[in-house]
Copies of this chain bind each other. A is one copy, B any other.
Amino acid sequence: SGNFFLFAGPCVIEGESMALAIAEKIVNLSDKYAIPYVFKGSYRKANRSRIDSFRGIGDEKALKILQKVGSTFDIPVVTDIHTEEEAFLAAEYVDVLQIPAFLCRQTELLEAAAKTQRWINIKKGQFLSPQAMQFAAQKVVDSGNDQVMLTERGTTFGYQDLVVDYRGIPLMQQFGYPVILDVTHSLQQPNQTAGVTGGLPQLIETMARAGIAVGVDGIFLETHPEPAKALSDGANMLPLDQLDHLLSRLSTICQIIKSF
Q: Which residues of A contact B (CB under 8 A)?
A: 46-51, 55, 82-84, 102-103, 105-108, 111, 125-129, 131-132, 134-135, 138-139, 142-143, 155-161, 163-167, 169-170, 190-191, 193, 195, 200, 203, 206-207, 209-215, 249, 252-253, 256-257, 260
- How distant is A169 from chain B, measured CB to nearest CB, in Å? 8
Number of copies: 4
Bound: A105/B106 CA distance, A: 14
Q: Is the CB of B102 within 8 A of A51?
A: no
Contacts of A127 in B (CB 8 A): 102, 125-127, 156, 190
Chain A binding surface SS class: loop
Q: Could you write out 16 A-B pairs with CB less than 8 Å apart?
A: A46-B106, A46-B107, A49-B105, A51-B138, A102-B125, A126-B127, A127-B127, A129-B190, A131-B191, A155-B163, A157-B158, A163-B163, A166-B206, A170-B206, A209-B213, A209-B257
Bound: A49/B142 CA distance, A: 13
Contacts of A164 in B (CB 8 A): 165-166
Partner of A167, one of B195, B203, B213: B203
Q: Is the CB of A165 within 8 A of B163?
A: yes
Contacts of A165 in B (CB 8 A): 157, 163-164
Contacts of A84 in B (CB 8 A): 83
Q: Is the CB of A203 within 8 A of B170?
A: yes
Contacts of A249 in B (CB 8 A): 260
Q: Is the CB of B163 within 8 A of A160?
A: no
Partner of A161, one of B50, B102, B158, B206: B158
Bound: A159/B172 CA distance, A: 14
Partner of A102, one of B105, B206, B213: B105
